[in-house]
Amino acid sequence: MGGNGGGPCGACKFLRRKCVKNCVFAPYFDSDEQGAAHFAAVHRVFGASNASKLLLRVPPHRRLDAVVSLCYEALSRVRDPVYGCVSNIFTLQQQVNVILFVLYA
């Protein structure tokens, strides 16, 4: 992905800095527009420093899961600053309740 000879990763591109060989963001944020956009949301909600510290505390084999969660929550918070992904969970819960009502009514 980003940071390995193909230019900066999406995070470093967004931050306008040189992407170093051991960049913690490079494996997870591609150098394309989507990688930079996802990192922009993470940076806006959590901050680059906090995201970096969090990823460095997570074992390497679990970092992809952490990045997916960070991106999901950040993108949800950008859309809905108050509830974030909880509004998605609430909507899904309402849909399940409707289905159960139809099935058992």
pLDDT in tens, 37-82: 999 999 999 999 999 999 999 999 999 999 999 999 999 999 999 9
> Per-residue pLDDT for 6 more than 60?
yes
Number of domains in the chain: 1
Confirm whether 69 is domain-assigned.
Answer: yes
**Cβ atoms 54, 42 nearer than 8 A:** no
Quick one: tokens of 52?
């970096």
**CB-facing half-sphere around the CA of 60: CA atoms within 13 A:** 5
Range of the domain at 39: 10-104
> Per-residue pLDDT for 1 more than 70?
no
> Per-residue pLDDT for 15 more than 50?
yes
CA 3, distance to chain mean position in Å, is 18
Confirm whether 52 is domain-assigned.
Answer: yes
